Structure 1
Amino acid sequence: MRRILQAVHIATLLLTAAPGFAQDVETEEMICRDIGDIFCLLEEFSKNLEGSTSLSAKPTPAAKAPVDRTVVELQRDRRESKLTLSGSSQPTEVTLINLSPEVNVWYLLKLQWSPQKIEWYHLDNVDPSGLWLELNQQEPNGLWLRNGKGGDRLCELWSKDSGHPLRAARAANAPYAPLCQNALYLRNRIDGYRTTKEWVVEFLRANIWGGETITNIVKETVYKDSFLLKSNPVGTTGSAETNELPNGPALARVAAKMKGEMLPVKELGISVMGATDENLEVGRWYRTTRQDGVFVSVMEPKAVDEDIMKSHRDYVRDLDAVEMEAISILVAFDTTVFDLSFAMGTDHPAVGWSERVLPDVRNPLSKGPDGFDNLNPLTSTGLIPPYLSDRVAGIFTGGFKRDHGSFRWGDLARKNQGSHYGFMENGTILSSIVPDLATLIVYKDGRVDMKTWNDQDALNIGSMKHVRQNGVPIIDWNDLTQQAVPGRWVSNWTLGNWSGSQDKKFRSLRAGVCEAENKGRRFVIYGYFSSMTPAGMARVFQSYGCTYAMHLDMNALEHTYMSLYSTNKSKEPAPQHLVKGMKVLDERFKGNVPRYIGYPDNRDFFYFTEKKK
């Protein structure tokens, strides 16, 4: 036991490194020395764990067929065209693939020079509603750009006479390289940044038997309540009535004894109108000073309406005293003003097998649930495309990594190969969208919907632009009663698949997202829960009238990151962060370099952009 505790102590020192801790050569050497110590200390511990856990069971290959394909084959609506060429300085064959013709953003270009030499290029179409790419036998040196208005033109890309623009763009070593007078961008592979803490956690999980157990011990001892925001009310507004903002979300339902109470939230990093000395009225929405259509509110469970707290107690557990006073900060975006998009990080959520998949439902002859364990020949940049960056209004980190993105227990663990959480970017399915999971959908016309995915939704997948699944609902919609209710498994750690603790009661920093409507306007609400369980999240989301909600990521500021940008970036280019401590994530390099805009990140994310006028 002493040796186990020593290993946990070493892991704790590494895992508690500051988010901005530079991962230079000296740091890596230090980590490797300590990791070596952990290997020695855990040798006996690993032997004891081996055989006592179901993960050591070997899957039976009987009746399991090999599956080997690429992400391209997952795109049922893709459109391909080919050219066969014979010039001495030309490829022998050119293939152009529009991965989702309805969305018309992502294209793949394949140049085959010989059976052994094949080049793939992943292209972004800057104007998907007004520009289409084609191959033309009469113009064998590039792509034909067609705008449907008689302004069609050739963009030479692979001829020697034009200087091989594609190869030059690839050699630029930039995540996005412009082509065809900025009509297209080539996406280049680049390493996404990760904190030292993330690096150590991934190393433990991937290389040390019992590494997941070690990280859980550290979370339960070191990180428990480490991000807790607790604030005592400082008096009331003096009025029993709170006015609702025109064009804003509906006021939260607040307990009678807490109406008008003011909460000091000193860690709030977003400036709002009408608040003084960082004191915000509980449950009230405030306009932000930087963006029309963005609103901020604060809440703690003890301020939630009594009727809500008493509802559904047959399956929603009571909250403890600490959780009842844990502050939540919510940010609402008006979807009539902003478009919502989803993007992969450079590495996550990944597409191979989750570590949680039961051995008897995993196909050992397949590299992943969809038959692949990487996205080649696609390129994930972990960045907002430069042609959208000037319209960015807000960014927040996405959901769980693939390691935690499937089920170990219950019916969902036995269905669909463990029910891995699916996702789609720009109309391209990157991991199959599976039934019975909480799902955020962005349609190609900009509409946002949140729901539990079913087989019928798969019939409409061609009209969808972005999809992200993340477990089961925090708030679900009951079709029979036509009411929003807490998700059935918010208090069930195994069937809910909630990460965080082996004692099933662990409070942690968590993030979630919900949808709500008010007077014909639809809002996407991001929630930051400073020390809470899914049951606590459900109570807060209930109070704000959310019709559906799902969990995002948790445990650290880098996993719950949220930033807001000004409409006028020439005057106010730096972001404001939901919590002031998140600023360190934009200070990893000299100066202020915004995450997801100034440098690529390994984690997936959502971002809001102003709608085109």
Structure 2
Amino acid sequence: MLPRFSVFSGFFIGLPAAIAVLSTSPTMAQGINVPDQAVINAQLAELGSNVPGSVFAMQPFRNRQTLSDADGTTYTLTSLNPHVNSWFVLETTPAGGRSRFVHFENGDPETWEISLIDEDGPALLIEGEGDSFACAPWADGELEEAQASSLPYAPVCDWSLFVRNPVTGNRTTREAVAEFLRENVIFGESIVNLIKGAFFEDAFMVSSEGEDEVEEIDGVELLGTALLDNAPNMRPYMGFELAGTDAGAMTAGAWYEVEESPGIYASVMQPGMIAREVMQSGGANGLDSIERRADVYLVAFDMARFDIGYELGTDHPGIEWSSRPQNRHGQGRGPDGFDTSAPLVRTGMLNPSFVDRVAATFTGGFKRDHGAWRFGDYATFNYGHHYGFMQNGVLLSRLWPNLATMYLTQDGEVDMRTWTEEDTAMLPDLVFARQNGVAIVENGVPGSRVTSWGGGNWSGDADATLRTLRGGACMRTVEGRQFLIYAYFSTATPSAMARTFQAYQCDYAMLLDMNSQEHTYMALYVHDEDGEGEIDVQHLVSGMAEVDPDNGRVPRFISAPDNRDFFYLLRRQ
């Protein structure tokens, strides 16, 4: 049982004791390791303070190395979380000059370790699979060229690292990205093959007994049907090509496999069809006549076939104060004491090394201004409960107790839960986390705040109407097989969402975003089978194609930076 710890000003003053057991790990011979326990304890105390004050203070496992060259310039490389081994910041400070920062992303965190080495001057040491080489991109102009490239991800050091560049979704950036992908992904060899084929000749040679294959299942049969009293044939305006329909007609509540997309299934229903036993189970309000007949589209992913990731938008969610809560500490421009992620760079775009595996994307949660409480008890403590988030093991906004949280751990566990004080002990294992409001369904029943407008921070449309277009997601486990289900509600209240997720027998469900197809966007990506690398983009609803840049010619999140955060699913290799 994990140790408990007390709360001070909404965060945790017992963090070191709670995490000490989990943070220790065998010392690795390469790269930047986690610091010793005394340093971790001190950095956990920074995170657990009333106001951490900087993005670096939010990283309790950070560690760094520093070297100087002959002219006195210092080079400091910080691994923001050696447990995850993904994000690094290089700080270069000339003697008597101003520091400059570069944000690197590891091209393959499971293979490559990154550190500083003195190789006739400071250089990056790239080590992996028994081989290594030194790289000083600041010395030969490679770094300068990468920073001037207009690419959100610019490769350096033989593709072992990407420079994350500040970008906007302007035409110049999109054209640069399109050319880059065309040359290296869409019509060329995949970036993964390029990296692994051109790095070290034998660095990726592996001889093993082989991995366990994913057990083949009939997902349609395993998912079964939703708990409905009425299951007519429906003709939804869904943008997917489905197997087994009757000339496009779908039986309400049934699941259908998406063509050429193994492990992905689609369903449609209306809340008015839900079984009486579900509707009378308590915990939710009655449904009005409009939402009872409003279509709901659902997409299920067999998580045995997919990896999941999370990417922050260039702007949203922010880390500044929301305008809603009045409970502020007065010690900085945000609940954590700062309002910018600099020197970290947010690209709002999928890392190009994942493009040949991407299967789906869907938008994340609320913007920062909407992501905190204005009314009710949650507005009065924890500074209004601003929704927290982490990407690639790097915490940019604290994770607060009481909030619905989707997360991924290093061992591949993806799940949802209501965050608690004890869950902070998971920090060494987390890869990403995204909080958004409170539970819609928890343990199979409506969350305790589903019927409270202010208490649940459910928001509404521009006219403050609770019933509006909404997107949400849930987790469901069937006979040990885990499914992530995304749901698009053409118009619904939280009660209609709760009843729908109950009808589909979800274990836990949460709201994502709302009010427009831009904010509830979802797309699937079908890759051709002839090796040409072309991708067919299929939108859940046809109107979502209009959200893609350049009149739908550029896939959102994949080929162009976006200001909103998103989740992505990658086919396992």
Task: State the TM-score bracket (shorter-chain normalisation).
Answer: 0.7 to 0.9
CA contact (8 A) 1:193 1:601 kept: no
Which among 418, 424, 431 is matched to residue 458 of structure 1? 424
Q: Distance in 2 between the 1:591 and 1:405 partners?
A: 29
C-alpha contact 2:228 2:253 (8 A) present in aligned 1: no
Correspondence 1:285 to 2:262: no
**Alignment CA distance shift 1:139-1:334 (3 Å):** farther
2:406 is the counterpart of 1:440: yes
Which blocks of at least 5 consecutive residues in structure 1 are unaligned?
Answer: 1-64, 195-243, 478-483
| Deviation by residue 1:42-67 (Cα, 9 ceiling, x = unmatched) | xxxxxxxxxxxxxxxxxxxxxxx995
Partner in structure 2 of residue 98 of structure 1: 79
Question: Which of 274, 279, 295 is equivalent to 1:304?
Answer: 274
Letter in 2 for 1:142: A
**Partner residue, 1:109:** 90
Q: Which residue of 1 aligns with 2:565?
A: 604
1:99-151 deviation digits (Å, cap 9, x = unpaired): 1111111111111114432211111111111110011134524200111x431
Residue 439 to residue 67, structure 1, CA distance change in 2 (3 Å) = closer
Residue 434 of structure 2 aligns to a residue whose secondary structure is strand
Displacement after TM superposition at 1:278 (Å):
2.4
Say whether 1:254 aligns with 2:235: no
Give 2:214's aligned residue: none
Does the CA-based 8 Å contact 2:296-2:490 persist in structure 1?
A: yes
CA contact (8 A) 1:285 1:296 kept: yes
Structure 2 CA distance for aligned equivalents of residues 440 and 602 of structure 1: 20
Separation in 2, partners of 1:405, 1:248: 38
Q: Percent identity?
A: 41
Structure 2 equivalent of residue 589 of structure 1: 550
Summarize the Cα distance change of 1:340–1:76 in structure 2 as closer, same or farther, 3 Å threshold: same
SS at match of 1:388: helix
The 3 A distance-change label for structure 1 pair 68 and 545 is: closer
Q: TM-score, normalised by structure 2?
A: 0.80
Q: Is the 8 A contact 1:291 1:567 kept in 2?
A: no
Q: How much is the aligned-residue C-alpha RMSD, in angstroms?
A: 2.0
In structure 2, what residue type is equivalent to 1:167?
A: E
**Aligned-partner residue type, residue 466 of structure 2:** F
Aligned to 2:235: 264
Q: CA deviation at 1:590?
A: 6.2
1:178-202 deviation per Cα after TM superposition (whole angstroms, max 9, x unaligned): 11111111010011469xxxxxxxx
Q: Which AA in structure 2 matches 1:348?
A: H
* Equivalent residue letter for 1:73: A
Pairing partner for 2:489 from 529, 541, 551: 529
Matched, 1:176 2:142: no
1:72 Cα shift? 1.5
Following superposition, the deviation at residue 611 of structure 1 comes to 1.4
Q: Tell me the CA shift for residue 521 of structure 1.
A: 0.9
Alignment of 1:34-73 (within 5 A): 69-73=53-57
Structure 1, 336-345 or 66-75: larger mean CA deviation: 66-75
Q: What are the equivalent positions in structure 2 for 1:111-510 lying under 5 Å apart?
A: 111-147=92-128, 149-159=129-139, 162=140, 164-192=141-169, 245-246=218-219, 249-256=222-229, 258-259=230-231, 261-265=232-236, 267-312=237-282, 315-358=283-326, 361-477=327-443, 484-500=444-460, 506-510=466-470
Q: Secondary structure at the match of 1:529?
A: strand
In the superposition, relative to structure 1, how do residues 139 and 499 fare at CA in structure 2: closer, same or farther (>3 Å)?
A: farther
Could you tell me which amino acid in structure 1 is paired with residue 146 of structure 2? A
Q: Is the 8 A contact 1:250 1:545 kept in 2?
A: no
SS in structure 1 at match of 2:286 = coil
Give the distance between the partners of 2:380 and 2:398, measured in 1 at CA.
16
Tell me the equivalent position of 2:188. Answer: none
Contact 1:442 1:465 in 2 (8 A): yes
Which residue is 2:212 aligned to? none
Q: Structure 1 524/66 Cα, relative in aligned 2: closer, same or farther at 3 Å?
A: closer
Question: CA deviation digits over 1:454-482, x for unaligned, max 9?
Answer: 111101111010100000011012xxxxx
CA contact (8 A) 1:70 1:376 kept: no
Partner of 2:94, secondary structure, is strand
Distance change in 2, residues 1:131/1:83 (3 Å): same
1:182 maps to a residue whose letter is W
Asked whether the 8 Å contact 1:248–1:293 carries over to 2, the reply is no
- Structure 1 residues 403 and 445: CA distance shift in structure 2, 3 A: same
* 1:84 aligns to 2:68 (yes or no): yes
Residue in structure 2 matched with residue 50 of structure 1 by the alignment? none
What secondary structure sits across from 1:289 in the alignment? Answer: coil
Alpha-carbon deviation of 1:591?
6.5
Residue identity in the other structure for 2:81:
S
In structure 2, what is the Cα distance between the partners aligned to 1:73 and 1:568?
A: 45
- Once residues 247 and 319 of structure 1 are traced to their aligned partners in structure 2, the CA distance between those partners, rounded to angstroms, is 29
What amino acid is the match of 1:580? S
Which region of structure 1 is more displaced relative to structure 2, 271-280 or 436-445? 271-280
Inter-partner Cα distance in structure 2 for 1:371 and 1:70: 7
* CA contact 2:468–2:491 (8 Å) conserved in 1: yes
- Residues 506-531 of structure 1, C-alpha deviation per residue, up to 9 Å, x if partnerless? 31110001000112110110000001
Q: Which residue number in structure 2 is paired with residue 558 of structure 1?
A: 518
Does the aligned pair in 2 maintain the 1:511–1:553 contact within 8 Å?
yes
Distance (Å, rounded) in 1 between the aligned partners of 2:473 and 2:50: 38
> What is the deviation of 1:252?
3.5
SS of the residue corresponding to residue 524 of structure 1 reads strand
Deviation at 1:86, TM superposition (A): 2.1
Change (3 A) 1:105 1:294: same
The whole-number CA distance in structure 2 between the counterparts of 1:168 and 1:370 is: 35
SS at the partner of 1:584?
Answer: helix
Q: Which amino acid aligns with 2:494?
A: P
Distance 2:243 2:58 in 1: 47
Residue 543 of structure 1: CA displacement?
0.6
AA of the residue aligned to 1:156: A
Which residue does 1:539 correspond to in 2? Answer: 499
Structure-2 change in CA distance of 1:105 and 1:139 (3 Å) = farther
Which protein has the larger Cα radius of gyration, Structure 1 or Structure 2? 1
8 Å contact from structure 2 (residues 461, 468) kept in 1: no
CA pair 296-72 structure 1, distance change in 2 beyond 3 A: same
Give 1:280's aligned amino acid.
M
1:254 maps to amino acid: L
Q: CA 1:574 to 1:318, structure 2 compared with 1: closer, same or farther past 3 Å?
A: same
Letter in 1 for 2:152: P
Aligned pair count reads 478
The alpha carbon displacement at 1:68 in A equals 7.5
Distance 2:159 2:168 in 1: 24
The answer to whether the Cα contact below 8 Å between 1:283 and 1:297 also exists between their aligned partners in 2 is: yes
Take 2:76 and 2:539, find their aligned partners in 1: how far apart are those partners?
A: 44
Deviation for aligned residue 1:340: 0.9
Task: Provide the C-alpha distance between the structure 1 equivalents of 2:160 and 2:470, rounded to a whole number of angstroms.
Answer: 40
Return the letter of the residue paired with 1:186.
Answer: V
Question: Secondary structure in 2 aligned to 1:71?
Answer: coil
Structure 2 residue matching 1:134: 3-state secondary structure: strand
**Contact 2:226-2:254 within 8 A present in 1 as well:** no
State the SS of the aligned residue for 1:449.
Answer: strand
Contact preservation (8 Å) 1:294, 1:332? yes
Per the alignment, residue 39 of structure 1 pairs with none
